[in-house]
């Protein structure tokens, strides 16, 4: 029997911290555990052409779709709004003489969420990335009323951005499941990477997972759909996020 649909919005402290990578790892873990996983990237940039799909498709959406086991949702449903320029969606759309249709994207997200046991919704950049002159990613999270998972870089400089992001989400009444620290460089853990998790756990009242293993094979190039089969496992993190999601008292 299908459970009540659950949605997790994946946001970040910045761009380039690994939202898509972490979301793909989680989608893979939950799919292997037998869950029906949906994915959606409602606002994408750096769009590409895909045979049989009208308009541009987000490369991140292609990766998530692959990681979730290619669910029945069309690529247009998984990537409902996408533009070419590698900029904030509001600016990328303006360059093309278009505008971001927030209402249409929200309808697309809700349609995907209704069809799956759990759905990962990946944002773009951080909370204040603009979609229109008056709407930012934070506003979309509030309208969807989804639980939120924050992805942050593990290295030096993450403390301020991470605490500010979680504090703002909590002040807006959002349910924060926790923070995932992701390594964006290889080599031995730096002193900051060794100490940041403990400091954040002391400052925040949400779980802090990681740092996740650096994906060495992807160094210097973007993640591609074919890479998802080689991603490292994160069973413990995936299980604990689900446990927290299932707990009605957690995350507020």
pLDDT digits (tens, 9 = 90+) for 37-75: 999 999 999 999 999 899 999 999 999 999 999 998 999
Mean pLDDT, residues 207-218: 86
pLDDT at residue 184 greater than cutoff 80: yes
Query: Cα separation of 162 and 8, whole Å?
Result: 18
Tens of pLDDT, residue by residue over 94-112, are 999 999 999 999 999 999 9
Please tell me which residue, 22 or 2, carries the higher pLDDT value. 22
For residue 218, the model assigns a pLDDT of 66
Pairing mode of beta strands 118-122, 37-40: parallel
For residue 3, name the pLDDT band (cuts at 50, 70, 90): very low
Look up the pTM and report it: 0.94
Which residues are bridge partners to 9 per DSSP?
Answer: 121, 148
Query: Cα separation of 27 and 97, whole Å?
Result: 35
For residue 2, the model assigns a pLDDT of 42
Beta strand residue intervals within the chain, DSSP E = 6-12, 37-40, 43-44, 48-49, 56-57, 81-82, 118-122, 147-153, 176-182, 208-212
For residue 251, the model assigns a pLDDT of 58
For residue 217, the model assigns a pLDDT of 67
Share of the chain above pLDDT 70, in %: 95
Distance (Å) of CA 125 to CA 10, 52, 60, 242: 10, 28, 12, 24
Tens of pLDDT, residue by residue over 84-93, are 999 999 999 9
For residue 249, name the pLDDT band (cuts at 50, 70, 90): low
Beta strand residue intervals within 14-124, DSSP E = 37-40, 43-44, 48-49, 56-57, 81-82, 118-122
| Correct CATH for 6-246 of 3.40.605.10, 3.40.1480.10, 2.30.29.30, 3.40.50.300 | 3.40.50.300
pLDDT at residue 215 greater than cutoff 90: no
For residue 250, the model assigns a pLDDT of 62
Beta strand residue intervals within 154-219, DSSP E = 176-182, 208-212
Copy the structure tokens of residue 140. 């979309």
| Catalytic annotation present for 19 | no
Q: Which of 19, 41, 98, 142 is catalytic?
A: 41
């Amino acid at each position: 029997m299908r459970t009540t649909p659950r949605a997790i919005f994946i946001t970040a402290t910045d761009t380039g911290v690994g939202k898509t990578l972490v979301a793909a790892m989680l989608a893979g873990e939950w799919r292997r555990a037998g869950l029906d996983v949906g994915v959606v990237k409602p606002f994408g940039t750096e769009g590409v052409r895909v045979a049989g799909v009208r308009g541009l498709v987000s490369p991140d959406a292609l990766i998530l779709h692959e990681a979730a086991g290619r669910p029945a949702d069309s690529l247009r449903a998984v990537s409902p709004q996408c533009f070419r320029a590698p900029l904030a969606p509001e600016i990328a759309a303006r360059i093309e003489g278009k505008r971001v249709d927030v209402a249409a994207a929200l309808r697309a997200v809700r349609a995907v969420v209704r069809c799956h046991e759990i759905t990962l919704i990946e944002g773009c950049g951080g909370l204040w990335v603009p979609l229109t002159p008056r709407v930012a990613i934070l506003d979309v999270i509030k309208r969807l009323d989804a639980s939120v998972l924050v992805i942050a870089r593990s290295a030096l400089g993450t403390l301020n951005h991470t605490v500010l992001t979680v504090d703002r989400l909590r002040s807006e009444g959002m349910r924060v499941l926790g923070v995932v620290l992701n390594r964006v460089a290889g080599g031995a853990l730096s002193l900051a990477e060794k100490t940041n998790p403990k400091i954040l756990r002391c400052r925040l009242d949400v779980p802090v997972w990681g740092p996740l293993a650096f994906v060495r094979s992807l160094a210097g190039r973007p993640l591609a759909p074919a890479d998802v089969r080689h991603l490292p496992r994160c069973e413990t993190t995936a299980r604990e996020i689900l446990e927290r999601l299932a707990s009605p008292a957690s995350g507020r």
